[in-house]
Amino acid sequence: MMQIFIPLNFLGFVYREMKGALANIEKMFSLLRVKPAVADQSEASDLQVQEGRIEFDAVRFGYKDNREILRQVSFSVLPCQKVAIVGASGAGKSTLFKLLFRFYDVSDGSIRIDGQDIRTVSQESLRRAIGVVPQDAVLFNQSIKENVRYGRVDATDEEVMAAIHHAHLSDFVRQLPQGVDTLVGERGLKLSGGEKQRVAIARALLKKPPIMIFDEATSSLDSRSERSIVASLKEIAREQTTLVIAHRLSTIVDADKILVMDQGQIVEQGSHSQLLEEGGHYATLWRMQQQERTAGMGEETPVAS
């Protein structure tokens, strides 16, 4: 019996190890799964980012020919501005990001970064210039410190610690049994949505690309986590042009500009106070989320979930 038990037990161990490894590989592939439908032009030059100004000029786009997803979208983001995009699920917010990353080419119009049409630059240089904080960051079965270091693998320990500090993770890390050396991920400590997103912010702060896109987690956050994310977003936006898909309007009241999207179009744009004054779609959403807060639910219903 023992003879059978040991190999089975061992096999179970190997299986669990493999399953863990496969889960990570699967996640890696799902991250890379979006196959670029575009190719570099033969004379593509490297993107030169001097300031980080982004312009969407009359952009039209559809994944398939018969269905237009973005219709005549125009907006600009000035260097080091923070621009938030809000709108119902399916409005086209993520599609804007995919086009900026040039996973697809626009059907009409253009996207420019510091005056350069992104179709004319190498994809490698374009993606190097843009950092992404995804909704659900992938954590590897390593320490917090090493997980943050993925932002820039040659970063020194001091730089990693500074990024952890600026991502408002220090207090959280201090409470962990081995501090920054605590193992996280599937076989380590499970982090909440907000904590994971702050690890992603720390990675992004370490990478420090001139343009940052931030996809706010739709998962519910306690108000402390939310405050930390807002504060760390401020750190990012201080020196980088930042585009945020926001689900909780309270996290973007300080944005330089808010774009309200509906069915592939920008239907309103302006600062928080301008949009409230306009009394349109945004003002209605704001009132709804505020009512939920004061009703004691503590958490806002995300605009898009």
Pick one of 90, 109, 188, 280: the residue that binds ligand ATP (CB under 6 A).
90
Pick one of 49, 83, 95, 249: the residue that binds ligand ATP (CB under 6 A).
95
Note whether 84 binds ligand ATP by CB under 6 A: no
The answer to whether residues 47 and 129 touch, using CB atoms and an 8 Å cutoff, is yes
Q: What three-state secondary structure class fits 248? A: coil
Number of Cβ atoms within 10 Å of the Cβ of 101: 17
Note whether 133 binds ligand ATP by CB under 6 A: no
Note whether 210 binds ligand ATP by CB under 6 A: no
Query: At what angle are helices 193-207 and 157-166 packed, to 10 degrees?
Result: 130
- Report the residue number, 24 or 94, with the smaller CB distance to ligand ATP: 94
Q: Which stretch binds ligand ATP (CB under 6 A): 87-95, 146-154, 174-182, 278-286?
A: 87-95
Note whether 69 binds ligand ATP by CB under 6 A: yes
Note whether 91 binds ligand ATP by CB under 6 A: yes
What are φ and ψ of residue 127, in 5° steps? -75, -25
Q: Give the shortest CB-87-to-ligand ATP separation in angstroms.
A: 6
Instruction: Give the separation between CA 193 and CA 222, rounded to whole angstroms.
Output: 10
- Report the residue number, 54 or 91, with the smaller CB distance to ligand ATP: 91
Distance of alpha carbon 70 from the chain centroid: 20
Q: Which stretch binds ligand ATP (CB under 6 A): 22-30, 45-53, 86-94, 168-176?
A: 86-94
Pick one of 89, 156, 274, 291: the residue that binds ligand ATP (CB under 6 A).
89
Q: In Å, how far are 68, 219, 283 from 127, measured between CA atoms? A: 25, 27, 35
Matching residue, tokens 């193992």: 183
